[in-house]
Amino acid sequence: MTQGKPVKNAKARLFEDLKQQILTMELGPDEDLDEVELCERYGLSRTPVREIFRRLSGEGYVYIRENRGVRVSPMNHSTLRNFFLVAPMIYAAVGRLAVQHFTPAQLAELKETQAQFRQASLAGDIPAMVLKNNRFHEIMGEMSGNVYLQTSLNRLLVDHARIGRTFYQPHDEDTARRRQLSIDHHDQFIEAIEARDEEAIVRLSYEHMELSRENMELFITPPGLKPEPPPAP
């Protein structure tokens, strides 16, 4: 069994891998995590793997069922309803504080992350789009400098990423337009932060969340299929 630094490295890799797989929906909502398989793949005993599960549970990525294993957090009508009820308020509050407290280094990272998000969109790299979009909003949370809001924001971002994943996939004109609008919103967030314009950042927060709501609505209730006529008798 590995000891010391190799174990820490394997734990860190497992933690980041599971986070990314959940955010990009490589691991789907309510999917079981195979503890034995993860132990073997990462060369870890059950104790450190269970530590990672507890950490992921605390951050909202998974839920632990007593004596029944670990599952990816669900994304059902109840969780989505709660998400859309509170997300605009949290994003707006984070934005206000980001305007007040951002540092030049954080702003530089935000701009670089936006450039990477744009490049991923142009390349059609869906997992990268999900992760770069997620990181963009994480940085805004860090700019706020408020541990209470950051905790709430980070939990919201788990589902925000998974909602985003649902509409990055199709290739049609409307999807392309919505992707571009998301990129434009990010550019406007950066401009509002640089200008220290709190009202603009609040307005953008609600517009950005409305885009997510519309995208999820389209995913849940797509245009109906045209039924084929019955064969002639």
C-alpha dihedral over 209, 210, 211, 215, to 10 degrees?
100
For residues 82 and 67, membership in a common domain is answered with no
3-state secondary structure of 33: strand
Determine the structural domain holding residue 41 and report its residue range.
5-72
The pTM assigned to this predicted structure is: 0.84
Number of domains in the chain: 2
pLDDT (tens digit, 0 to 9) for every residue of the chain, 233 residues total?
A: 445 667 779 999 999 999 999 999 999 999 999 999 999 999 999 999 999 999 999 999 999 988 788 999 998 888 888 888 999 999 999 999 999 999 999 999 999 999 999 999 889 898 999 999 999 999 999 999 999 999 999 999 999 888 877 666 656 677 778 888 999 999 999 999 999 999 999 999 999 988 877 766 665 555 555 556 666 66
The answer to whether residue 223 is domain-embedded is no
Residues 180 and 87 in one domain: yes
193 shares a domain with 161: yes
